[in-house]
A = this chain, B = another copy of it.
Amino acid sequence: MSGWVKIVGLGPGNEGFVTPDVRDVIATATDIVGYIPYVARIAPREGLRLHATDNRVEIDRAAHALEMAAEGRRVAVVSSGDPGVFAMASAVFEAMEDRADWQTLPVSVLPGITAMLAAAARAGAPLGHDFAAINLSDNLKPFALVEKRIRLAAQADFAMAFYNPRSKSRPHQFERVLEILRDECEPARLIIFARAVSTSDENIICVPLSEATPEMADMRTVVIVGNSATRRVGPHIYTPRRA
């Protein structure tokens, strides 16, 4: 029996966003590995083992998946959104670094609907032109690098999507992010706070930068900042193609 690891994206919450290819992987897996709330989205069935682990143990979880595949198990690593965007795919490849035998296992990635694109679709098309995606968490990188990237992205007039904008352990940094944006952008710049997009808790608000406050973001929010041309038309927010 030959094992594999397939790293799959479940999308942001709505089951209607899960692709048929991802469903097929889940149907043929012997083991599901992932963060507790994502594993909770998988329907139990006979013979399927569920391995749900807490946050911040991504490398251990990845190593466990590879270890099981080496033993012949068919392992689906589940991420919310797209596994290649601030999610489990990079962690699995990192875990592979020190083990040459793991590097020859069949490991593949299946894309999913990532949160920023689900949020953008609900708002209209704020990422309809050039944009940057930035993870605001400084768990794994210095916050100075986050600040530098936001400043240069604003100077390039990219629209921006921020993942992990604010958490209980990092309540103050998002205030700093808003300060940088106020330095670089005009007060009328549109900013969208999309919380729990595509779930029953979904809440999407759009305000000018001058009215944005840190409390509008939490760990379930993706934040989209328009570029200088992003505008409203009727109830929609979009970025024109010529900007």
Task: List chain A positions with a Cβ less than 8 A from chain B.
Answer: 11, 14-21, 24, 58, 82-87, 89-94, 96-97, 102-104, 107-114, 117-118, 120-122, 124-135, 140-141, 145, 148-149, 152-153, 155-158, 233-236, 238-243
User: Whose C-beta in chain B lies nearest to the C-beta of A131?
Assistant: B133
User: How many monomers of this chain does the complex have?
Assistant: 2
Knowing A131-B133, A132-B131, A242-B141, the reply to whether A104 touches B234 (Cβ < 8 A) is: yes
**Residue pair B110, A140 in contact (C-beta under 8 Å):** no
Looking at chain A's contact residues, is the secondary structure mostly helix, strand, loop, or mixed?
mixed
Give every chain B residue within 8 A of A132 (Cβ-Cβ): 130-133, 153, 156, 158
**Residue pair B16, A90 in contact (C-beta under 8 Å):** no
Give every chain B residue within 8 A of A121 (Cβ-Cβ): 82-84, 89, 108-111
State the Cβ distance, A153 to closest chain B Cβ, in Å.
6
